[in-house]
Amino acid sequence: MLHETRSRIPLPFAALLLLVASSACAARQEATAKPEPAAAHWSYSGDTGPDHWGTLDEAYFAAAKGVAQSPIDIVTGAAIEAQAPALVFTAASVPLTIVNNGHTIEVDCAAGNSVQFGSQTYALKQFHFHSPSEHTLDGRNAALEMHMVHKMADGHAAVVGVLIQEGATNAAFDAIWQHLPATPGPEVTVPGVTIDPTSLLPADRGYYFYDGSLTTPPCTEGIRWFVLKTPIQMSSGQIAAFRKAYYGNNRPVQPHHARIVLRTP
């Protein structure tokens, strides 16, 4: 664990980014050397639950052997402050294409939305939800967590995590919540309905940053994580509507190992 006083010292982001990258370099190299995942069944409980993911298929090796796994508990007082680039989101309305895939409810996104981090631009591919949240802040889960999955043309991925707390009704989700598929089935594009994914984000886009993994099999490492510092709200009714389909679809937090968590001021 880093000493808390370090978190009060703003440091150049480029230098800290090298530290973050080096702390998971070996894990990334190992991950890229393994084969693509097979279609082994996995779940969130029992013999196919998170404790067993690493044994279900050779392609899921990182779930058991990785040293840069996600999610993690973010200790806010220990995160190191860095003068980091802002996350710049490009907005575009896209058709609502939604699917209950048996693990979560996912919204797939047509081209047009992206996030820029310094000189790197990642295209938004899809976003989905976990309840309760997968990441925790100081040991506490939020009611839900939204993961916005982005990729660069070369395949490198970044995920923006948004914590969702119980509070006021969030009208930005109305179009999606009106079409939540209750049971697994094929992907559906809802006629005449469009969404702007950036409208789902908080106004303050400050973030915690670390190097991690996918939170579902194959749990591939080398994923850049940006967990927004400011949560959004949903009403108890909105939360309950999602939980009718999924509750407990969250992987437990994973060890930090030698990783560093950065935060914007």
- CATH code (residue 188): 3.10.200.10
Does residue 35 have a pLDDT over 70?
no
Task: Please list the active-site residues.
Answer: 103
Taking only Cα atoms into account, the Rg of the chain, rounded to an integer number of angstroms, comes to: 18
| 141 domain residue, yes or no | yes
Domain span holding position 108: 4-36+68-263
| 45 domain residue, yes or no | no
18, two tokens = 């090298």
| 48 domain residue, yes or no | no
What is the distance between the alpha carbons of residues 67 and 265, in angstroms, rounded to a whole number? Answer: 27
154, two tokens = 């070369």
What is the distance between the alpha carbons of residues 209 and 41, in angstroms, rounded to a whole number? Answer: 31
Cβ 265 vs Cβ 83: under 8 Å: yes
DSSP letter, residue 140? B
Torsion of Cα atoms, 66 then 70 then 73 then 77, to 10°: 90
Cβ neighbors of 178 (< 8 A, separation 6 or more) are none
Residue count (the chain): 265
CA 225 to chain centre: 7
Q: What is the pLDDT of residues 11-28, one digit of tens each?
A: 555 555 554 554 444 344
Q: What is the pLDDT of residues 202-252, one digit of tens each?
A: 999 999 999 999 999 999 999 999 999 999 999 999 999 999 999 999 999
| 60 domain residue, yes or no | no
The whole-model pTM stands at 0.89
| 101 domain residue, yes or no | yes
What is the distance between the alpha carbons of residues 164 and 242, in angstroms, rounded to a whole number? Answer: 12
| 63 domain residue, yes or no | no
Q: What is the pLDDT of residues 114-163, one digit of tens each?
A: 999 999 999 999 999 999 999 999 999 999 999 999 999 999 999 999 99
| 193 domain residue, yes or no | yes
Torsion of Cα atoms, 87 then 253 then 170 then 121, to 10°: 20
What is the distance between the alpha carbons of residues 134 and 253, in angstroms, rounded to a whole number? Answer: 7
Q: How many CA within 13 A on the CB side of residue 10?
A: 4
DSSP-assigned beta bridge partners for residue 115: 89, 122
pLDDT of residue 28: 45
What domain count does the chain have?
A: 1
What is the distance between the alpha carbons of residues 2 and 257, in angstroms, rounded to a whole number? Answer: 11
| 49 domain residue, yes or no | no
DSSP 166-202: E-S--GGGHHHHTT--SS----EEEEEEEE-GGGGS-
Q: Is there a cis peptide before residue 217, judged by omega within 30 degrees of 0?
A: no
Region of 264 on the Ramachandran plot (φ > 0 left; ψ -120 to 50 alpha; else beta): beta
Region 166-189 average pLDDT: 97
Cβ neighbors of 125 (< 8 A, separation 6 or more) are 108, 109, 149, 150, 151
184, two tokens = 């697994």
259, two tokens = 């990783």
